[in-house]
Structure 1
Amino acid sequence: MQDCKVSAGGIELGRSNCVSAIAFRGDVSGLPNQDFEILALPLLDPLYNFARWLCGDADEARDLVQETFAKALKGFASFRQGTNFRAWMFTILRNTFLTSRTGLEWRRTEQEDEENFEESAVTHDTPEIALIRRADTEMMRQAIATLPLAFREVLLLVDIEEMRYQEVADVLRIPVGTVMSRLSRARKQLREYIVVTLGVKHEM
């Protein structure tokens, strides 16, 4: 049987790995697979980008996205219609990623989240945010890779995927205040890296 493939973010998804809903017909517990296809395929690029930044490896990111789509398709019947599908997909990807990590960095970060946090420090338009959103170079990839994973994922979702704080909180299953705390600290660490390592100075 010939594979039906969809390419996005350098990923080819086909019947053989049961990732793309294009490869399936019929219903999943009464929900048409076409619904999954319509909702999920536009998220290929954002999910791959998030996975690529998290993993730091293109092959691992492709595998992660493929596994995410396979799990999402299998569990699509449990998705509550009318809720945030994008957040649901990003949550599946993140949880899948975390199974390959110890989780120690997240636990340490959770204990420190509320220390020395000022809500006013989180703003929507700063020079480093503009720099992050143009971060398509290996140099900036390395800069973001230096962040602790718990900070990196928040920064990626807010500053690159442009998710709302509440949506990020839904993905990560943490309070909005914790999202803001981690984002503030992530931006601070990234700014310090840029100034020290890249020699780029901004007035904040």
Structure 2
Amino acid sequence: MNQLQFAQMINEHKTMLSTFALKFTKDNDDANDLIQDTMVKAIRFSAGFKEGTNVKGWLYTIMRNTFINDYRKVIKTQSLISQEEELSSAHLMHSATHNQVDGAFAMRDIKRAIGNLPEALSAPFIRYVEGYKYHEIAIELNLPIGTIKTHIHEARKRLKKQLQIYRSGQCN
């Protein structure tokens, strides 16, 4: 199936996608943006679609993942924005001094913990933290994507255990 035929095939499911997009976003403009993003990704990754499989399910999965990733970006951005009332100069001075000391200890411990990981776990984990996608890491390291996901998961689990002191608030 060529690119044009594929685009026509997925375009036939646009109505179904708009129903799901509206359920996700609860806003017509956001739903239209989500549909457009889904269609673009579907065409861009058309090589990953296997003929004879459920195209509706494939498109729905792309849409759901796109919505979740966009939602995470928005939440991350909102958590970085502070309220003006919290930004008094005295508060900033205390916070900067306190954070600098705590941050130095935390960074040292994090680097040490990552250094203690086996190379098979640390290499994909570091790439992931740097912002690479699973499939990009898999290509770079010439490993199956499932292996990459497993290695990153295992690295997280080990780091979480090694850095437990920071999770429980015992370092304050």
Shorter-chain TM band? 0.3 to 0.5
Q: Pick the structure with more strand per residue.
A: 1
TM-score (norm 2): 0.40
TM-score (norm 1): 0.34
**Structure of higher RCO (CA pairs closer than 8 Å, 6+ residues apart):** 1
Larger gyration radius, structure 1 or structure 2:
2
